[in-house]
Structure 1
């Protein structure tokens, strides 16, 4: 008498639940890490050799900790009013120059501040 022993084990199908959990967690992470706000666009006019410059000098030196107008350090609150006092119209040229390792964000902040006051002609120089 012979008995056939059958292997009653069935292969279980792999569960996809842990993979779905990981994908969901990654989705939530990237949704929370993403920035959905609008980025400010500031048009930049590069300096050219042939443009006419009228009126008193309006040179803004932007440093990491301070802003100077024509070599005189001024507080950020008085920046726009000081520049406006030197211009005849909002279309007058204002020259912006980075100094001493000023970050690009610092330059953009100054440009946005000037644009908020109506100064439309800001030129960035080296």
Structure 2
């Protein structure tokens, strides 16, 4: 409209801001993604009317200690400590995580018991 200065060429839009946005979106979705292997462990939820036979088999799970019927036991020794209380692998074992116990700790105990051949694990509150 007004010709006060020399004519300038039109500037091309800069791609730097768009690359920054794409990079930030990439980082966001990488951090939000779940890369772990998902696995499901079948558990019986404690309820009323469950059949029970034999001596009690209550495992209290805390972050730093496991208790089998009130006695401390190491995770590696847990299947051997349960042997005298079991009549077979289908006997119920009650797992009670204490407040503040991580889900990973519960899964470690469950995995150790399943690895020992125990098939009936009941989680109670």
TM-score by length of 2: 0.80
* Number of equivalences: 123
Partner of 2:64: 65
CA RMSD of aligned residues (A): 2.4
1:38 matches 2:2: no
Q: Which sections of structure 1, spanning at least 5 residues, go unmatched?
A: none
Alignment of 1:13-28 (within 5 A): 13-20=12-19, 22-24=21-23, 26-27=25-26
Partner of 1:111: 110
Structure showing greater Rg: 1
2: CA distance, partners of 1:78 / 1:125: 22
1: CA distance, partners of 2:101 / 2:31: 30
Structure 1 residue 87: Cα displacement: 1.3
1:64–1:100 CA contact under 8 A, matched in 2: no
Q: Any idea what SS the aligned residue of 2:114 has?
A: helix
1: CA distance, partners of 2:30 / 2:99: 37
Alpha-carbon spacing, 1:63–1:32, altered in 2? closer, same or farther (3 Å): closer
Q: Which sections of structure 2, spanning at least 5 residues, go unmatched?
A: none
Question: 1:63-121, CA deviations, whole angstroms, 9 ceiling, x for partnerless residues?
Answer: 12100001111111101221233212111100011224222221122111111111111
1:96–1:122 CA contact under 8 A, matched in 2: yes
1:60–1:68 CA contact under 8 A, matched in 2: yes
TM-score by length of 1: 0.80
User: After the TM superposition, which parts of structure 1 deviate over 2 Å for at least 4 consecutive aligned residues?
Assistant: 4-7, 24-37
